Structure 1
Amino acid sequence: MTTGLAGLNVYSVVQDHNGYLWIGTETGLSRFDGRRFRNYTTKDGLPDNEVLKLYVDSKNRVWVLSFTNSICFYENGLLHSPSNDAYLKNLTFSTEPQNIQEDSSGNIIITERKKIHFLKNNGDVKTFIKYENYQVVTIGIGTNNLGNTIIASIFEHRNDSLVLLEVDRFTGNVKYSGISDNSYFTSSLTFILTPKNLAFIHNKNIHYLSGKDFKLKTIKQPPNFVGFTAIDDTSFTLICRDKVLLFNAKRNAVVDTLITGKVINACYKDNENNFWFGTNGFGLFRLSSDAFKNYELKWGKGILPIYSVAKKNNVLYAGANNALLWKINLESNKIDSKQFNSYGEGRVSEILFDREDMIVGINAIFSVNPEGKIVKLNHGTAVAKSMERYGSDLLAATNTSVIIVDLEKKTLKDTVWKSRATCAVKINNDYLVGTIHGLFRVDEKKKITDLGKENFLLSSRISRLFLKDDALWIATYGNGIVLYKNGKILRHITEASGLSSNMCRCLKLQGNYLWVGTDKGLNRINILDTNDRIVTYSAKSGLSCDIINAIDVDDSLIYMGTPYGVTVFDPRRAKETSIAALNIERIVTSEESKTGLFSNITLKPGEKKLYVEYACVSFKSDGDIKYYYQLQGDGDKWNLTRENSLEFASLNPGIYRLRIYAVNAFNKKSNTVEINITVEKFFFQEAWFITLVIIIVGLLVYFMFAKRVAWIRMREQDKLITEQRLNELEQLAFRSQMNPHFIFNCLNSIQQYLFTKDVIEANNFITEFASLIRQTLDISSKKSIQLRDEIKYLSTYLHLEHTRFEHNFDYTINVESIIDTETVELPPLLLQPFIENAIRHGVRNLQNVRGCIEINFHLQNDYLICNVIDNGIGIKAAEKMKHVFRSSHQSKGVSLILERIKNINRKSEKPIRLTVEDNMASSENQGTRVSLMVPVA
């Protein structure tokens, strides 16, 4: 890895508690999350850009030891140095610091070449230069089982013996310590101590103490040896200038070569079991797993793709383009190649062994004996696609046919199929041929059956066939894996079942496991347990490439050909470990940018923009990370993104909770990060202000409404009063119209008395008339009067009329006994006009008959019934007389009463009802009946 790294010379690699990988280079400090590098230099606060050593303590502080005589540490997004942190201000160095260690009390011990610094938690510093008057020269550092720091040293000018000094974690004092098998040293490249292994360099040998008896053992330094680093309790790496070896102390042997061809400065194993190698000039390298060993087979300036592999004894053969056959010695890692023709054309697509001979398929099929003699087994040119051996017969599928070759006679024996094929196997006496159009059966009589017509899955493009106990495993190029037996499909395995891809290229059976190569990695399928999940290995796991062209197996290992060479895979050493550590890296608001640990964020009023940057550390995922986030307070939906940042452009005031988690390429879920976000409101958005505004507005609305209601009520009251006054004026007008009419008639009567010189009668009439006028004026101003007053008024009026008409008619007023005349009320002057009409137009015109007027009052339901009955000439006769005599006087009394009743009914729930009708239809003097129904309370 070079792109984004601070420098190409890498001196130190460590991993912090959040999962980040920290890399010290010659030109700065880098932090790697598996996808991106974040670099720090002197501009960010480093004392010097050349970072020689890194250390992570229990507080997750990343300590940085640089080339200059200074030190700093990174914590929560900030670099702390003596210039900005009081904790470090008392710490000074005369040379560059070399090693650093934390004891179990949290104190930090830092060594220079000839000094030991004890940095207490409170910032106090103790410095030691000598022990018992001997100058101390430090070479390594670690802790023991007591939690104290152990410093590996030698005493200057005394001897070269190793001395272990112990720094007490409580007092900081230094004392001599013997070798303890409970000590653990992080050490330098020249010294290492694990709980059961002490190793150091002396006289070009590596000395180490191992085992329960802790006996000293010695091994010779490998060529170009530089140093070593601890991996775990039983193993450490031997770093050479051109490679890194893995040494196992229990086995007392080098067990693997981790990397070759590079000068290594640092080696580190992370918590995903990845090996990281810091190189000199080539940046950072990662070995995902020591279960995978990749061979790059170079030809000219390029790496050749491998299309076929086959293993015999300890040698792996690999076929490539340019007619090249590669030979890899798996013990010595020696690589040789052989070219089958001088012009370098053809692809070695198949390799098979026939006892001591090798069968190779290129643009023809060749047999190669141990002496290297080559014999062509078929006629013409045909590219071999697959080869299977059955006794002395070789069944070969080519791009032109499927043929049988006699391996003993080295001659063509038969042609089974006469067109292009991809693979073929023999089952009993039949041949099953795979083609790009599906699977076909050819019987011993060469009858061809298209099996794709029986089941559409068998019409898929066939990549490879593998026969085991009459069960045929079929690799298709688009429909996954099919298990076919006795004419039936027993199993169909696809991406939905867990297969990494339906584009299957090759397959091999190893015990109970079927290994399938696809364009998206290697798959392991348990053929006995269908519930066992399919395991996928890819470039993320350690493969050189996801595309698998060829597979071969032995009892324990898998051999694969890929576009990038050959991979040897040991499934027993494969550990399906991956991490998914989610961290918030940066939060940016409209006002500021923050880094470090976050749990609560407050945005000021008007700050609506929020940018959150995060990263999931998962090195094996190679950036294939899915992020899920939920913003509570703005909905509970979980959203998916592959971006490592979120931006909220317009957050409304309120309280939110942002929750984020990640899922890596291996479907491992990370920790969930929660951030409480408070978007503050302007004062006018606060509840108290809104409440106050609501109250004020409410009061204003209330007062305006009350004022409006009062105004409306006043208007309605005024309107009602006006209407009442108008009504009263109207009633008064009606009454005032009646009064002159009545007064006029009475004055005529008085005039008649005076003409007849009956002065006494005239005076009596005037007296009674005056009384009637007073009553009229009294009751005409009232809305209603008592029935008693109405009867009194009518009696006075009838008496005057009886006198005026010389007693020529009789009248009676009858009141039902149950009527209380003092409580029953009715509008005044309603009956008088009808009585006047009864006299004037009824009984007055009678001939030879005495007139009679009868007035009756009785109750019926809620009404007072007032009847005016006369025995006059009747309505029709009176109308006829009006036309005959053409009377100039038009009485308006009745019409005024009708208008008055109509006006009263508009204001009353119960109407006044009036009927006027002839009294006796069979008589000549039938008379008239007037009925007035007045509602009573």
Structure 2
Amino acid sequence: MKRLLLFIFLIVTAGAVQAQTFPFRTYSIERGLSEAVVNDLMQDNDGYLWIGTSYGLNRFDGFQFKNYYAEDGLLSNKILSLYEDSANRLWIGTGSGVNIMKEDSVHVLSKLSPLESSTILDIHEDQQGEFWFATDGEGVWHLDGEDNLTQYSETHGIGSNRVRAIVEDQQGVLWFGTRDGVTKLEDGNLRTFTTNHGLPDDRIRDLIINDDNVLWIASRGGLCRQERNQMDCYDEQDGLINNRIRSMSRDRNGNLWLGTEEGVSYFNGREFTNYSVDEGLANNIIYATHYDREGNIWFGSYGGGISLFLGDHLKNYTSGQGLPNNVVTSISEDRDGHPWIATYGGGIAELSSGKFDVYDADRGLVDNKVYTLEYTSDNQLLIGTRWGLSIYDGTNFLNFNKDELPYRKVRDVLKVEESNEIWMGTYGEGIIRYKEGSFRQYTEEDGLVNNTVLALKKTQDGSIWIATYGGISRLNGQEFTNYTITDGLPNNGVIDILEDDSGALWFATFGGIARFEQGSFKTITPEDGLPGNVFYFINKDDQGFYWIGTNKGVVRFDYDTFQLAKTDSAVHPFRLITQDQGLVANEMNAGASFKDSNGHLWFGSVDGLTQLDPSQLDTSRGPPKIHIENIRVSGEPISMKPNMEISSDNQNITFEFIGISFTAPEQVRYEYRLKNSGGEWQQTNRRTARYSSLMGGDYTFQVRARNNDGQWSTEIAEVQFRVLAPFWQQWWFIGLVVLILAAIIFFIYNYYRVRKMMEMERMRVQIASDLHDDVGSALTEIALQSDFLQTMDVNSKLQDSLQQIGNQSRKIVTSLDDIVWSIDARNDTVGDLTDRMQDYVNNVLPQKTIAYNFQGNMDKKLDVTLKENLYLIFKEAINNVAKHSNAQKVEVELRTDGDNFRMSIKDNGTTSSANRKSGQGMRNMNMRAKRIDADIMFNNDSGFEVYVKRES
């Protein structure tokens, strides 16, 4: 009897909930999924969702699918199971064996080649790090730590060779779900549980072990719970949507999500909540379920792709569920807790027991285009329409004809209980007070700031605040006080008014929201981060959050956090809820919000009605995972690898990244920077960052992500790369340029040096010639004239003078001859010096035996100073021999080696060395040796030697 009553109750409940839909988001082939038949779902450690279909493997990041097929390495396009191991490797069970994913590439393991004829239905890694593979017809295969494969089949004691699921309990006991019961493997022993042990059906589809070591069993006959050998089972009579369960997932609270062949059941351990296509599910046949890290539940269906269920905190109502019109303009609640909904074109409707009861013009409403309604304490419903005011008392409508109430387009109504007055805000005709059967109008002529009125609010001090298209008016008694943009409003177009618990007033305008307290406004605008451009309403929930309606969705606003955001940019006071998160539509209607007696919020939009339970809104979904997915250089993708180098001729570098948050992927914001470029963190809602004309050098690109809850990713994704300098900045090019410049400079210098040397040589030759021809000839002529005069009869004194003149002239000629020889550039080689030395020796020492030893490059040119001083040292030494030595033999040696030389003049004389080493001649030789950086030595062993050398 109890089961029958429960069954009847569930039928009634099912009928009631047909009037609402829940926030399901569906992705199928048209969004990029490879096939609509989904066999398994899994979220990896990087946050990506993997989908195994009957035709291909898919990776989903919230925006796009990446598909993998047999041509990418899969053993089969039919993917039946997915598993991530302790090393974060993805294992793929196909219709023809097992693949593994490594670095975004599909690989085949040779050690698993015996499985390539098997259909892999499940994969599990045990506590020892060994792997188990469930097959459809070949039992279970075990891969141990030594890469040995062992098969367990019916002959070993497994219930059936068709195995669908593998789990492991805390004691390391393995459980196999088969087509003929549940098999337990413990200490090498196999034991199978069947209908004889309490199972409703032997065909097992899925298994789960919870934290309490309780085994949950999904079968074709319902759900079972096994603990300490006790079996408790649940089926359709207990509220399960369908007994044929195909998959199970467990949420963070330990509750179960069950995918069946007629929809989804949520089981909290006490009761079931069911969802099907009537509540928004894409398909009723659910093959796979997965609970992700953000608290969302995913369903893979047979033919409907994948559906994301964002929770039951949102419920939507449209004309498909009985709403008379999708343009919802106002919501109120009667004393029985029934919501009343105003629509523009469909009249009003009462929502009771999950069904809409519609009141329109056919039932007495003055007009079906309704702007506003308010339920009063005396159980009256005040209805403002395009054609005036209606008052509904629960049975009849009180309408006013044009003569009684000539003011149309009643945009808002307000009942003042104390004075039993009804105030109406009109579109273009100011405000109207209705009391005791008479109407009074207040317009701009009476002090109202503008005649187009959108909202009315009576505050605690008894004042009436009026929102208009020209600002705000406060009516206190009979006196108006007006506020406009000059007083601090963000915009003169004011749409809605709220008085919060503290007595502060909030205004929603066309340019932001404003808080009025103690005579001044504080504004919050899009520049402060408020989403949207137009703000249709503002309300406050029981948790203290403000809710703002926009043309982009509904914003939950945390005012306390907003105050902190002024000093802490890491906090996020705004959370936007859009159609992607479950709203029936993104564009709200003016003033269309209401908080009911249960604390639930109701929002009216251009496309239906949404009910929100703010207390059930999950704000601890976890931060997004951030990844750099691609790098494009001049539009072409490049592979990401360590020590990347990018050539200098690539002017544009684009980084593509993704912060994975399936709850609100389009609301993920990013911060990025390029280290070493001088740039600071930049925020964007785009998933790309582009840089152009980077200088050569090492860079690090970094990016992080924030979800719509304001949570930043715990890690920063980064990639390091080097931009090669252009060839003109490369070291080899700079070195080459320096070398060329040095060569040019050297060439120019050498050119001018050679040219100068040639000029000097020509000058030296010219001077030598001039000295020889002019001065030498003149001196010779003087000497000859002196000789001629001596032959004449002159006195003795004159004779002596003439003789001295002749001798001195000849001496000067001899000295001049040495000078001319030194100056003349034609005498600069070593050979010229040796020739000169021989001539001089033969002239001075004609009677001596002379031995010459000349070695070196005779054609090498000598510096003029070196040549001159060497010759003069030599000449002084020879003169020394001639004057002071009684030697018969003189040895002359000159050896040259580059800039080094050795010169020796040695005789075999026996004259005292003291006579040789004294006098002006020795001093002259020492002086000349210093001039050419040479060392000079005098040796008197076995004669006398003058030895000069220079060694570098």
- AA matched with 1:551: S
Q: For residues 614-672 of structure 1, give each alpha carbon's deviation from its aligned partner in whole angstroms, at most 9, with x where no partner exists.
A: 43322233344555555557666667776656788999987654444444555544432
Counterpart residue number, 2:595: 553
Deviation at 1:462, TM superposition (A): 1.1
Distance 1:214 1:452, change over 3 A: farther
Distance 1:174 1:383, change over 3 A: farther
- AA matched with 1:31: R
Q: Distance in 1 between matches of 2:369 and 2:601?
A: 22
Counterpart residue number, 2:165: 140
Q: For residues 676-708 of structure 1, give each alpha carbon's deviation from its aligned partner in whole angstroms, at most 9, with x where no partner exists.
A: 446899999997x77997998799789868965
Q: For residues 143-186 of structure 1, give each alpha carbon's deviation from its aligned partner in whole angstroms, at most 9, with x where no partner exists.
A: 1113453213475xxxxxx5441266xxxx4534999xxxxxxx
- AA matched with 2:154: K
1:493 maps to which of 511, 524, 529: 524
SS of the equivalent of 1:370 reads: coil
Contact 2:487 2:521 survives alignment (8 Å): no
Q: Please show how residues 209-358 of structure 1 align to structure 2 within 5 Å.
A: 216=232, 218-219=234-235, 220=237, 221-227=239-245, 228-232=247-251, 234-239=254-259, 243-249=263-269, 251-254=270-273, 259-260=280-281, 262-265=283-286, 266-298=288-320, 304-312=326-334, 313-329=336-352, 333-341=354-362, 346-354=368-376, 355-358=378-381
Counterpart residue number, 2:106: 79
Q: Distance in 2 between matches of 1:559 and 1:402?
A: 26
SS of the equivalent of 2:132 reads: strand
Deviation at 1:404, TM superposition (A): 2.4
Q: Distance in 1 between matches of 2:641 and 2:325?
A: 48
Distance 1:545 1:561, change over 3 A: same
Distance 1:243 1:702, change over 3 A: same
Contact 1:91 1:125 survives alignment (8 Å): no
Q: Please show how residues 572-583 of structure 1 align to structure 2 within 5 Å.
A: 572-576=615-619, 577-583=621-627
Counterpart residue number, 2:190: 175
Deviation at 1:770, TM superposition (A): 4.6
Contact 1:11 1:25 survives alignment (8 Å): yes
Counterpart residue number, 1:158: none
SS of the equivalent of 2:585 reads: coil
1:436 maps to which of 469, 477, 497: 469
Same amino acid, percent of matched pairs: 19
Deviation at 1:358, TM superposition (A): 2.1
Q: Distance in 1 between matches of 2:723 and 2:546?
A: 57
Q: Distance in 2 between matches of 1:38 and 1:17?
A: 17
Contact 2:324 2:343 survives alignment (8 Å): no
Counterpart residue number, 1:507: 538
Distance 1:495 1:643, change over 3 A: closer
SS of the equivalent of 1:127 reads: strand
Counterpart residue number, 1:812: none
| Unaligned runs of at least 5 residues, structure 1 | 156-161, 180-186, 785-937
Deviation at 1:709, TM superposition (A): 7.9
Q: Give the aligned CA root-mean-square deviation in angstroms.
A: 4.9
Contact 2:41 2:52 survives alignment (8 Å): yes
Q: Distance in 2 between matches of 1:605 and 1:461?
A: 54
Distance 1:279 1:484, change over 3 A: same
Distance 1:563 1:765, change over 3 A: same
Q: Distance in 1 between matches of 2:205 and 2:500?
A: 53
Contact 1:152 1:165 survives alignment (8 Å): no
SS of the equivalent of 1:732 reads: helix
Counterpart residue number, 2:97: 70
Distance 1:560 1:653, change over 3 A: closer
| Unaligned runs of at least 5 residues, structure 2 | 1-26, 195-202, 445-450, 565-571, 818-952
Q: Distance in 2 between matches of 1:606 and 1:529?
A: 48
Counterpart residue number, 1:208: 225
Counterpart residue number, 2:871: none
Distance 1:389 1:611, change over 3 A: closer
Q: Distance in 2 between matches of 1:662 and 1:454?
A: 39
Contact 2:360 2:367 survives alignment (8 Å): no
Q: Please show how residues 186-197 of structure 1 align to structure 2 within 5 Å.
A: 189=205, 191-196=207-212, 197=214
Counterpart residue number, 2:885: none
Matched, 1:544 2:584: yes
Distance 1:376 1:62, change over 3 A: farther
Distance 1:127 1:727, change over 3 A: same
Q: Distance in 1 between matches of 2:587 and 2:331?
A: 14
Q: Distance in 2 between matches of 1:98 and 1:202?
A: 15
Counterpart residue number, 2:177: 152
Deviation at 1:225, TM superposition (A): 4.8
- AA matched with 2:355: K
Q: Distance in 2 between matches of 1:455 and 1:652?
A: 51
- AA matched with 1:49: N
Distance 1:144 1:683, change over 3 A: farther
Contact 1:451 1:458 survives alignment (8 Å): no
Distance 1:280 1:341, change over 3 A: farther
Q: Distance in 1 between matches of 2:541 and 2:633?
A: 58
Q: Please show how residues 677-756 of structure 1 align to structure 2 within 5 Å.
A: 677=721, 711=754, 714-715=757-758, 717-718=760-761, 721-722=764-765, 724-725=767-768, 728=771, 732=775
Deviation at 1:442, TM superposition (A): 3.8
Q: Distance in 2 between matches of 1:588 and 1:121?
A: 42
Matched, 1:112 2:135: yes
- AA matched with 2:612: F
Contact 1:103 1:148 survives alignment (8 Å): no
Distance 1:692 1:72, change over 3 A: same
Larger Rg: 1
SS of the equivalent of 1:350 reads: strand
- Name the TM-score, length of structure 1 as normaliser: 0.67
Q: Distance in 1 between matches of 2:78 and 2:793?
A: 152
Contact 2:557 2:575 survives alignment (8 Å): no
- AA matched with 2:394: P
User: Higher helix share goes to which structure?
Assistant: 2
Q: Distance in 1 between matches of 2:697 and 2:560?
A: 57
Contact 1:538 1:545 survives alignment (8 Å): no
1:369 maps to which of 393, 402, 426: 393
Contact 2:39 2:54 survives alignment (8 Å): yes
Deviation at 1:112, TM superposition (A): 2.5
Q: For residues 381-427 of structure 1, give each alpha carbon's deviation from its aligned partner in whole angstroms, at most 9, with x where no partner exists.
A: 62232222211322221213312234xx6x44433347321222345
Q: Distance in 1 between matches of 2:530 and 2:689?
A: 33
Q: Distance in 2 between matches of 1:425 and 1:591?
A: 57
- AA matched with 2:489: L
Q: Distance in 2 between matches of 1:256 and 1:237?
A: 10
SS of the equivalent of 1:208 reads: strand
SS of the equivalent of 1:457 reads: coil
Q: Please show how residues 642-657 of structure 1 align to structure 2 within 5 Å.
A: 644=687, 657=700
SS of the equivalent of 1:35 reads: coil
- AA matched with 2:88: N
Say how many residue pairs are matched: 742
Contact 2:366 2:389 survives alignment (8 Å): no
SS of the equivalent of 2:115 reads: coil
Counterpart residue number, 2:497: 465
Q: Distance in 1 between matches of 2:638 and 2:793?
A: 125
- Name the TM-score, length of structure 2 as normaliser: 0.66
SS of the equivalent of 2:588 reads: coil
Q: Distance in 1 between matches of 2:264 and 2:355?
A: 17
